[in-house]
DNA sequence: TCTGGGGTCCTAGGACCC
DNA sequence: TCTGGGGTCCTAGGACCC
């Protein structure tokens, strides 16, 4: 059996832990820049507010106090998440953290009765210790566990834990699940399936496997298998990430090249820091720019440029200078840019970097690496104190809108440092 | 006026090889 | 004028996830 533990309305629940007065009220959490809705309480869902709704469309509701909006506070959510995950991993042999608010539990070797009571106890323990309500779905495959967790969340009678543990329950659950709600069936696929008369997960499962194979791809066949109770989506191997990205939309559109250089430098510096933190280095650095895709009245331009380095890089200096080089390749005056970002990929572990045969810059590289190490050390105590001259003073998140931000309740030192900076 | 950010996997098609 | 066949590898872009 697989168990999927899913935190209910996670970001909203995090806010409520520290502001209990939000309990029972319609609350939403907004994305960066107070752009759109990314988490909703049950009450705001009931009002018909959809995931991804642009904030300006519900601003009147918020201004009149009928809905409470919070700016997102990722430092807080990350910290709450790790508290939840710690409790889970202390309680079962192995967990796989699937996202900030979800984890699969490996329950091998436990007998069924034990599993059910363990899951009930776990849900209680997480709520008691962290204050976050969770739903747990139990089933023979991950896809069915996802389905089960939806039922656990939707119907109070389950008390937070729902098991799909026989065929009758499986059929019943699938018949009540819209095809688009199935894990792995996205918008495009769902509409194709609906066109072919398939509206529920059961409709899909009842088609012959050969039909799925002929009309769709391997991913859909796996989903079909999983819905039938055959596990075929593997436990993710704990590999390192294959790419790292830092990007932001801007509150105000940017036209000036120097301003973009400063922002891209910040994003690149952030990528370099993430690389060093997990002990890897990158052969490829990509910079991309977006104009505002919602403005039909303006010229659109979505360029990107990728540069390769001969020796995998993780120093702030090198990643920043390559990202800026890529930016200068794609920058065109006359456009208003709404978003930019830097991606580093083709990653290797820092210990396994292959030196280039004619690396005339070897000394320079090793000095830059040492300097970056030093920057990390200083910056860990004084966030953002040391930076390259091309970077912005302050933090790249400064200047983006967050007018409804909660305090950094669990990481208060960071709070103070941010205020100083 | 105002519309997020960070990932993974799959596949078609091109480049290249013999 | 006529211009093969079969295989692998790589990559960009699409679809999906939270």
A239: Cβ–Cβ under 8 A, 6 or more apart, which residues? none
Nucleotides of B under 7 A from a protein CB: 1-12
Find the Å distance, CA of residue A205 to C1' of nucleotide C10: 35
Say if residues A41 and A59 touch (Cβ distance below 8 Å): no
Q: Is the pLDDT of residue A416 over 90?
A: no
A221: Cβ–Cβ under 8 A, 6 or more apart, which residues? A209, A212, A213
| Contact flag, residue A312 CB and nucleic strand C, below 7 A | no
Find the Å distance, CA of residue A248 to C1' of nucleotide B4: 8
Q: Which of residues 68-127 of A touch strand B (CB under 7 A)?
A: none
Provide the token pair at A265.
């430098």
What is the distance between the alpha carbons of residues A277 and A98, in angstroms, rounded to a whole number?
20
- A7: the nucleotide nearest its CA (via C1') is C18
Q: Is the pLDDT of residue A413 over 50?
A: no
Q: Three-state DSSP class for A311?
A: strand
Q: Which of residues 152-171 of A touch strand B (CB under 7 A)?
A: none
Q: What are the tens digits of pLDDT across the range A9-23?
A: 999 999 999 999 999
Q: How many helices (H) and strands (E) does chain A have?
A: 15, 12
Q: HSE on the CB side for A419, CA within 13 Å?
A: 7
Find the Å distance, CA of residue A328 to C1' of nucleotide C8: 36
> Cβ atoms within 10 A of the Cβ of A52, count?
10
Q: What is the pLDDT of residue A377?
A: 75
The predicted model scores a pTM of 0.92
Confidence at A261, pLDDT banded by 50, 70, 90: very high
Q: What is the pLDDT of residue A121?
A: 96
Q: Is the pLDDT of residue A409 over 80?
A: no
Q: Which has the minimum average pLDDT: A59-63, A71-75, A167-171, A411-415? A: A411-415
Q: What is the pLDDT of residue A402?
A: 77
CB-count burial class (<10 Å; 0-12, 13-18, 19+) for A3: buried
How far from each other are the two terminal CA atoms of chain A, in whole angstroms?
A: 49
What is the distance between the alpha carbons of residues A166 and A140, in angstroms, rounded to a whole number?
9
| Contact flag, residue A185 CB and nucleic strand C, below 7 A | yes
| Contact flag, residue A32 CB and nucleic strand B, below 7 A | yes
**Widest distance between CA atoms in chain A:** 69
Strand extents, DSSP E, A314-400? 337-349
Q: Which of residues 84-103 of A touch strand C (CB under 7 A)?
A: 98-102
CB-count burial class (<10 Å; 0-12, 13-18, 19+) for A326: buried
What is the distance between the alpha carbons of residues A35 and A30, in angstroms, rounded to a whole number?
6
- Pinpoint the alpha helices (H) of A343-410: 362-381
Pairing of strands A134-139, A2-7: antiparallel
What is the distance between the alpha carbons of residues A87 and A91, in angstroms, rounded to a whole number?
6
């Amino acid at each position: 059996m697989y168990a999927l533990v899913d935190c209910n309305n996670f970001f909203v629940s995090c806010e409520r832990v520290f502001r209990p007065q939000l309990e029972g009220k319609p609350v939403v959490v907004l994305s960066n820049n107070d752009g759109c809705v990314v988490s909703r309480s049950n009450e705001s869902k009931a009002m018909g507010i959809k995931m991804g709704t642009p904030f300006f469309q519900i601003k009147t509701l918020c201004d009149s106090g009928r809905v409470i909006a919070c700016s997102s506070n990722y430092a807080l959510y990350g910290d709450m998440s790790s508290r939840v995950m710690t409790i889970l991993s202390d309680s079962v042999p192995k967990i796989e953290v699937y996202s900030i608010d979800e984890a699969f539990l490996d329950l091998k070797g436990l007998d069924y009765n034990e599993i059910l009571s363990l899951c009930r106890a776990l849900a209680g323990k997480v709520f008691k210790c962290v204050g976050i309500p969770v739903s747990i779905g139990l089933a023979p495959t991950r896809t069915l566990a996802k389905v089960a967790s939806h039922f656990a969340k939707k119907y109070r009678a389950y008390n937070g834990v729902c098991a799909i543990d026989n065929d009758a329950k499986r059929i019943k659950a699938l018949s009540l699940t819209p095809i688009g709600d199935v894990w792995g069936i996205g918008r495009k696929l769902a509409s194709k399936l609906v066109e072919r008369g398939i509206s529920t997960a059961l409709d899909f499962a009842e088609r012959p496997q050969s039909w799925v194979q002929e009309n769709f791809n391997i991913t859909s066949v796996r989903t079909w298998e999983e819905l039938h109770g055959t596990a075929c989506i593997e436990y993710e191997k704990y590999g390192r990430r294959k790419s790292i990205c830092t990007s932001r939309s801007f509150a105000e559109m940017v036209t000036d090249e120097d301003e973009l250089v400063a922002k891209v430098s910040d994003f690149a510096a952030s990528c370099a820091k993430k690389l060093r933190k997990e002990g890897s280095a990158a052969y490829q650095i990509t910079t991309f720019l977006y104009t505002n895709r919602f403005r039909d009245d303006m010229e659109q331009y979505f360029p990107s440029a990728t540069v390769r380095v001969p020796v995998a890089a993780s120093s702030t200096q090198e990643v920043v200078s390559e990202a800026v080089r890529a930016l200068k390749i794609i920058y065109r005056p006359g456009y208003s840019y709404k978003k930019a970002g830097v991606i580093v990929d083709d990653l290797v572990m820092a210990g396994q970097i292959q030196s280039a045969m004619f690396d005339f810059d070897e000394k320079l590289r090793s000095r830059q690496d040492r300097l970056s190490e030093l920057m990390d050390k200083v910056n860990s105590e004084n966030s953002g104190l040391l930076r390259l001259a091309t970077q912005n003073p302050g933090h790249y998140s400064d200047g983006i809108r967050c007018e409804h931000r909660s305090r950094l309740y669990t990481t208060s030192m960071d709070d103070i440092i941010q205020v100083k900076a």
